[in-house]
Amino acid sequence: DGDTLKELEDNGQIVFQYCTPDGEVTQEANPNGSLKNIAGITNKDKNVLGMMPHPERYCDPILGGIDGSLIFKSIANFLK
């Protein structure tokens, strides 16, 4: 609903949005029609992440690509 969306925005909980390769948030880049192109959100404490895209599906060339591994490498580097 609108109140929840506003709360997510106000709290900075929208952490991923569908966008073009240039970083533009456009309707054309949104594969599923999600509101505000939302692809990932966190809880208020920002220690739980929920995402619609599935980066784990693209972590090995045998699966069709390795682009998805970038998010996991970034998390691992941050935690070091």
pLDDT digits (tens, 9 = 90+) for 10-56: 999 999 999 999 999 999 999 999 999 999 999 999 999 999 988 99
Residue 9: predicted pLDDT = 98
Structurally, the chain folds into a number of domains equal to 1
| pTM over 0.95, yes/no | no
Residue 40: predicted pLDDT = 97
Domain around 23: 2-79
Q: Which DSSP string do the residues of 27-80 spell out, in sequence order?
A: GGG-SS--GGGEEEEE-TTS--EEESS-GGGGSBGGGTBSTTHHHHHHHHHHH-
Arithmetic mean of pLDDT, 5-13 = 98
Residue 8: predicted pLDDT = 98
Residue 63: predicted pLDDT = 86
